[in-house]
Amino acid sequence: MDQVKVLPVRTALEKQAFLTFPWKIYRNDPLWVPPLLSERRKTIDPTRGMFFQDGYAELFIAWRKNRPVGTIACAEDLVRTKTHGVGECMIGFFDCIDDYEVAEALFCQAETWARAHNLVALYGTYNLDREDSRGILIEGRDRPPVSYCGHNPPYYQSLFERNGFSKDGDDGLAYIIKVDLEDPEIQHLLRLADKVRQRRNFIIRGGNLKDIEGEIDRILELQNRGLAHFEGFTPYTRASIEAIVLPMLNILDPELVLFAEVDGKTVGWFPGVPNMNEILIHLNSLRHPWDYLRLLRYSQLKPRILAVKSVAVLPEYWDMGIGVLLFAEMARRAHAKGYEWVDLSVTGEGNVDTFPLAHHMGARIYKRYRFYRKPLI
C-alpha cells in the first residue's frame, strides 16, 4: 500500500486543499451542510480568527499518491491551559477517508505536535471554536444538523476508539421539540410559568440591538457564572462571546434572544436563532458562480427550526424558576413566529438543569455527539 505522509499546510494551494477536502468525504451525503468557505478561511487565519487571540494552531493534510486523504488541526487553547493548570492539544477539522492507516497517521502527527509543545493529551473535536461543529456524531442520522452542529460519517467513531481515544466527559445531546401550544406537556409548562410569575416581579425581554456592547457584557457574566459548575468548564473571554454573537446580528430576531430580569438585574438568557442550515444545505458553500443562483432561490426560505444554543442563569437565582419562565416564553414566541420545531443543542447528558425543562416541552433526543481524549503520558 502506498505510504501516507502528513505534512503541514504552508502554501495558499495547500490551504485551499485543506478547506475543500470535506467535499471528498461528503459529496454524496444528503445530510451534510457545506460550511461557508469565507467563514472557514477567517477561522483558520491567525490574523483574523478569534481563536488566535488566546491560542495557536497548525493545520495538517494527509497525502497519498499526491492526493489529500485526510485533514486535522492541532491547537492549544491558552485560556483553557491557564484555567486547568495543564496544557492539552485540541484537535479539530478532522476529516478522513475510511482507512485506518490514514487516521492513524493523522493522530500520530497530532501526538508528535502535542509533545513538541509540552502538551499532555489530545482532546476534541473542536474546530478552533468551542461552539462550532464540536464532537463526533455517534447517533442521529435521520435529519441534517442545525446551525453550529456537526455531521460526520459513522466510521469516525471507530477510527478514534481503535486509536486509543476514550469518551471525555458527558456526551453532547441534541433535543428536538415540536412547537405545539396545545400539547399537554407544553400546557403544563405554561401553567408552571404562570405560577412562577406570581412569586416575584420577573421580566422576560428580548435582546437590545441598540446596546450590543452592554448585552455582550451581560452574556459574558451569564455564561461564566451560570455554567462554571460544569466539570472541565473553561471561562469565556469577551472575544469568544463576540465571536458567537456578532456574526448572528444579521440573521437573528432580537425578540427570540431572551433575557430574564429580576429587579432590574439581568439574571438569565436563552438565545434562539433561525436554523440557517436549512438554507446553507442548498448553496454548496457558494463555491461556484452558479451557486449564487441557488442563493437567490433559497434566501427567501423561512427556516422551520429555531436553534437554541445556550441557557444560563446566575447561580443565586437557580431555585427561582427562571428556567421555566425562559422555556415557556420561548415556546410562546416561537409559536407566534411560525416555527414548527425548537432544537436545543448541544447539552451535556449529565445536565440535570436542562433535561427536566426540555422534558416538559415534549423533547426527544435526536443526535448524540461524543468528545474524545487520549492521554500521552
Tell me whether residue 125 is in a domain: yes
Give CA–CA dist 9/18, Å, rounded. 8
The tens place of each residue's pLDDT in the chain, 377 residues long, gives: 589 999 999 999 999 999 999 999 999 999 999 999 999 999 999 999 989 999 999 999 999 999 999 999 999 999 999 999 999 999 999 999 999 999 999 999 999 999 999 999 999 999 998 777 889 999 999 999 999 999 999 999 999 999 999 999 899 999 999 999 998 988 988 999 999 988 888 999 999 999 999 999 999 999 999 988 888 888 999 988 988 888 888 888 999 999 999 988 999 999 999 999 999 898 887 776 766 667 667 777 889 999 998 889 999 998 899 999 999 999 999 999 999 999 998 888 877 777 777 777 788 999 999 999 999 97
Give CA–CA dist 248/24, Å, rounded. 29
Torsional class of 249: left (φ above 0), alpha (ψ -120 to 50), beta (otherwise): alpha
Considering the domain architecture, whether residues 271 and 308 belong to the same structural domain is answered as: yes
Tell me whether residue 377 is in a domain: no
Give pLDDT, residue 359. 77
User: In the chain, how many domains are there?
Assistant: 2
Give pLDDT, residue 352. 73
* 364: β partners: 176
Considering the domain architecture, whether residues 164 and 218 belong to the same structural domain is answered as: no
Considering the domain architecture, whether residues 272 and 319 belong to the same structural domain is answered as: yes
Q: Give the strand pairing for 372-375 and 166-167.
A: antiparallel
Tell me whether residue 375 is in a domain: no
**CATH classification of the domain holding 250:** 3.40.630.30
User: What is the DSSP code string of 225-269?
Assistant: HHSTTSTT--PPPHHHHHHHHGGGTTT--GGGEEEEEETTEEEEE
The x, y and z cell numbers of residue 372, run together, are 474524545
Considering the domain architecture, whether residues 188 and 299 belong to the same structural domain is answered as: yes
Considering the domain architecture, whether residues 238 and 287 belong to the same structural domain is answered as: yes
Q: Could you say which DSSP state residue 129 is in?
A: S
* 353: β partners: none
Q: Which of these three, 126, 146, 169, is where a domain ends?
A: 169
Considering the domain architecture, whether residues 96 and 41 belong to the same structural domain is answered as: yes
Q: Which of these three, 169, 202, 225, is where a domain ends?
A: 169
Tell me whether residue 376 is in a domain: no
Q: Is 327 exposed, middle or buried (0-12, 13-18, 19+ CB in 10 A)?
A: buried
Tell me whether residue 224 is in a domain: yes
Cα torsion at 328, 333, 335, 341 (round to 10°)? -70
Give pLDDT, residue 57. 98
Considering the domain architecture, whether residues 269 and 122 belong to the same structural domain is answered as: no
Q: Are 15 and 9 in contact (CB under 8 A)?
A: yes
Considering the domain architecture, whether residues 53 and 189 belong to the same structural domain is answered as: no
Q: Which of these three, 152, 169, 186, is where a domain ends?
A: 169
Q: Are 138 and 301 in contact (CB under 8 A)?
A: no
Tell me whether residue 374 is in a domain: no
Over its C-alpha atoms, the chain yields an Rg (Å, rounded) of 21
Q: Is 70 exposed, middle or buried (0-12, 13-18, 19+ CB in 10 A)?
A: buried
User: What is the DSSP code string of 189-225?
Assistant: HHHHHHHHHTTS-EEEE---GGGHHHHHHHHHHHHHH
Give CA–CA dist 73/49, Å, rounded. 14
Considering the domain architecture, whether residues 216 and 150 belong to the same structural domain is answered as: no
Considering the domain architecture, whether residues 284 and 349 belong to the same structural domain is answered as: yes
The x, y and z cell numbers of residue 125, run together, are 473535536
Within 10 Å of residue 165's Cβ, how many Cβ atoms?
Answer: 22
Considering the domain architecture, whether residues 78 and 224 belong to the same structural domain is answered as: no
Give pLDDT, residue 230. 84
Tell me whether residue 230 is in a domain: yes
* Helix (H), strand (E) at residue 16: helix 12-20
Cα torsion at 58, 59, 60, 61 (round to 10°)? -170
* 122: β partners: 89, 374
Beta-carbon contacts of 316 under 8 Å, excluding residues fewer than 6 positions away, are: none
pTM of the predicted model, to two decimals? 0.92
Domain range for residue 126? Answer: 5-169
Considering the domain architecture, whether residues 241 and 347 belong to the same structural domain is answered as: yes
Tell me whether residue 62 is in a domain: yes
The x, y and z cell numbers of residue 65, run together, are 499518491
Give CA–CA dist 74/110, Å, rounded. 6
Give CA–CA dist 157/285, Å, rounded. 26
The x, y and z cell numbers of residue 329, run together, are 416564553
Q: Are 19 and 37 in contact (CB under 8 A)?
A: yes
